[in-house]
Amino acid sequence: MMRFFPVPSAVKLFYPVNTCWEMGQQHKKIYLTFDDGPCEESTGPILELLDRFRIRATFFCTGMQALKHSELFNKIIDCGHTIGNHTFSHKSAWKCTPKGYLEDFERFENEVRKTRLFRPPYGHFPLGGTKRIRMSHAVIMWSLMAWDFDPAIRPEKIVEIFSKKTSNGSIWVFHDQEKAWRSGQVALPKLIEKFLERGYEFECIPEKL
């Protein structure tokens, strides 16, 4: 399987034009994001890490996990981080009808929290029925994927690639999951330290793009 850390330009052509792959390039800013949480094993340590460096991040949570770990979910918000909708049950748009997909998206908004940011699970975007989502939400993809959930990718590799490929406005994806955090907890402190030294700031994705 091919693992693309930066998303190839050809792939981006298949997405609607207003999909967000990176933020403005004029400032030395990085947008760290965590998908799939909250999670009993990883959310706490992630929040501690962010707090240690005094930086903020964006958490694309699923509704399922948010309701299951509501204390952790509220803690993410109390710590000043931003929440994005990652559907209620982590649905792939390629495996359900546009109607079913939209219902899962809306279930998050209705049962968990109103948000302004959306990230489609697996990066799969429905070919039909996206208008409703785009009316209220910015669709946030990523510039660099850590593949932290894949045990075949060593944390050193993540550090190496991210160190080379990050530029102003890059959006990083890591995962708020027990398995992924095994590599995230090694790679992330190194990367954050390195980029702070290089003069970058880490920020939440603004809810009004």
Rule CB under 5 A: which residues touch Zn ion? 35-36, 121
Residue of 198, 157, 172 whose CA lies nearest to 30: 172
Closer residue to Zn ion, CB minimum distance, 142 or 162: 142
Cβ atoms 30, 170 nearer than 8 A? yes
- In the complex, what is the shortest distance from the CB of residue 49 to Zn ion, in angstroms, rounded to a whole number? 20
Tell me the closest approach of the beta carbon of residue 34 to Zn ion, in angstroms: 10
* Residue of minimal Cβ distance to Zn ion: 35
Residue nearer to Zn ion on the CB measure, 56 or 119:
119
Give the nearest distance from C-beta 57 to Zn ion in angstroms. Answer: 15
**Residue that is written with structure tokens 């999670």 in the block:** 39
Q: Which amino acid is at 140?
A: I
Q: How many CA atoms lie within 13 A of 108 on its CB side?
A: 31
For residue 98 the two structure tokens come to 């546009």
Residue 36 C-beta: closest distance to Zn ion, Å: 4
Residue with smaller CB distance to Zn ion, 58 or 200: 58
Render the burial of 129-146: b for 16+ CB within 10 Å, e for the rest. Answer: ebeebeeebbbbbbbbbb
Quick one: 84 or 121, whose CB is closer to Zn ion?
Answer: 121
